Amino acid sequence: MSHNSFGHLFRFTTWGESHGPAIGAVVDGCPPGLELNEGLIQPFLDARRPGQSKFTTQRQEPDAVRILSGVFEGRTTGTPISLMIENVDQRSKDYSEVAQAYRPGHADYAYDAKYGLRDYRGGGRSSARETASRVAAGAVARLVLPEVTIRAWVAEIGGDAIDPANFDAAEIARNPFFCPDAKAAARWEKLVDDARLAGSSLGAVVACEATGVPAGWGAPLYGKLDADLAAAMMGINAVKGVEIGDGFAAARLSGETNADPMRPGATGPEFLANHAGGIAGGISTGQPVAVRLAFKPTSSILTPVETIDRAGAATQIRTKGRHDPCVGIRGVPVVEAMMALVLADHKLRHKAQCG
């Protein structure tokens, strides 16, 4: 069972609520002998950290990670790695409204329907704050994958997409949008700021690519690499769609145009295209593993929305707290982390059966 755990051999379990004392992850199954310290995790948390530009929520969290177990003299021991991040900026605000009324688009109603009660402060367990735990765990997963390079970026905000011709990987770190197209980034400044000022929100498409994955990772039929990636990505807050390779566009191609022909290459087959996104029959082909995700617009908006309260009576709610105008932006480090976590698990699984 995996209510709050993910992975099989490289496995992590997260815990914690938005406004509790801390959040954290326990990483189990990590190979021993890998160099690990807080300094190797912190940069990834810093990339996800809120409050770094006006385009993300203004909650101020240092997100300083502590390693509580599983590391000895700077190396992993093979035992569980407990990672903890204290919650610092749980601003004392009045939650009486959200305690009583369900915010449409949020998990409020569904949680109450399931559990009969919920920690409503900042969204509780359903807060995107939980993704910091994933990013921390993902940083550990990367250590298992020295041969793999993982890179994610925002490909589209509010329907305004990047121009692939302008793609420059170096650009991703230079703007607050993780945008590889400098021109698009310039446009998004106004787009996102307008939404922010209007108390509105925007959706986004995030793309992620892992290069260096050898052919052979994955498993038929209910342990397919693409199926596990789909679960990993769809499980990120606000994600409503996942594509591998050409995704929905492939449904509009003919068999001839969708083929990925092969010819002999220097170090194995050379593929003439990658419509498949690096995965065939659930198993990696050696091409870049390519995924795209749709993030819905943040559900927290200033415009009042019709809703009901806990007693079932009609009411309205609008969200006044600190929020991301486009939650997809901060999703980029989370997507990279989930990619690393899936690949690390499958690397070990492959090694177990076929290594």
- What residues from 276 to 295 belong to the interface with a copy of itself (CB under 8 A)? 276-277, 279-286, 294-295
Please give the C-alpha separations between residue 5 and each of 83, 132, 133, 235, 237, in angstroms, as whole numbers.
14, 15, 12, 11, 15
Give the CA distances from residue 256 to residues 176, 211, 253, 285, 291, in Å, rounded to whole numbers and listed in that order.
40, 25, 8, 19, 22
Contacts (Cβ under 8 Å, ≥6 apart) of 53: 176
**Residues in Cβ contact with 350 at an 8 Å cutoff, skipping those fewer than 6 apart:** 216, 217, 218, 219
CB of residue 60 vs a copy of itself: minimum separation in angstroms? 21
Asked if 17 interacts with a copy of itself (CB under 8 A), we say: yes
**What distance in Å separates the CA atoms of residue 250 and residue 116, rounded to the nearest whole number?**
43
Which one among 138, 180, 288, 297 touches a copy of itself, defined by CB under 8 A? 297
Options 4, 37, 53, 149; binder of a copy of itself; rule CB under 8 A: 4
Site for a copy of itself contains 310 (CB under 8 A): no
Other CB atoms within 10 A of residue 272 CB: 10
Chain residues 117-156 in contact with a copy of itself, contact rule CB under 8 A = 117-119, 124-126, 130, 156
Sole binder of a copy of itself in the list 184, 185, 219, 340 (CB under 8 A): 219
Q: Which of 336, 334, 353 is nearest to 218 (CA)?
A: 353
Interface stretch with a copy of itself, choices 45-53, 106-114, 178-186, 329-337 (CB under 8 A): 106-114
Tokens 């990013």, residue?
135
Min. distance of Cβ 170 from a copy of itself in angstroms?
25
Residues 23 to 62 in contact with a copy of itself, rule: CB under 8 A: 23-24, 26, 28-33
Among 39, 146, 164, 261, binds a copy of itself (CB under 8 A): 261
Closest to a copy of itself by CB, 180 vs 277, is 277
- Does position 81 bind a copy of itself by CB under 8 A? yes
Rounded to the nearest whole angstrom, what is the least distance from the CB of residue 162 to a copy of itself in the complex? 13
Q: Which is nearer to a copy of itself, 172 or 244 (CB)?
A: 244
Which of left, alpha, beta for 216 (phi over 0: left; psi -120 to 50: alpha)?
A: left
Number of residues near a copy of itself (by CB under 8 A): 153
From CA 44, how far away is CA 66, in angstroms rounded? 14
User: Judged by CB, which is closer to a copy of itself: 174, or 229?
Assistant: 229
CA–CA distance from 145 to each of 25, 31, 81, 347 (Å)? Answer: 19, 11, 17, 8
CB 350 within 8 A of CB 283: no
Provide the token pair at 301. 């908006």
Does the footprint of a copy of itself cover residue 96 (CB under 8 A)? no
- Residue 312 binds a copy of itself (CB under 8 A): yes
Cβ closest to a copy of itself, residue 175 vs residue 287: 287
Question: Nearer to a copy of itself by C-beta: 47 or 250?
Answer: 250
Dihedral sign computed on CA atoms, order 215, 220, 223, 224: positive
Window 154 to 183, contacts with a copy of itself (CB under 8 A): 156, 158-159
Smallest gap, in angstroms, from Cβ of residue 154 to a copy of itself?
A: 10
CA of residue 246 relative to chain centroid, distance: 20
Q: How far is CA 186 from CA 38, 62, 76, 299, in A?
A: 34, 28, 43, 25
Instruction: Name the residue nearer to a copy of itself (CB basis): 150 or 191.
Output: 191
CB under 8 A: which stretch of 89-97, 101-109, 175-183, 329-337 binds a copy of itself?
101-109
Task: Select from 49-57, 163-171, 174-182, 307-315 the region that touches a copy of itself (CB under 8 A).
Answer: 307-315
Question: Among residues 170 and 266, whose Cβ is nearest to a copy of itself?
Answer: 266
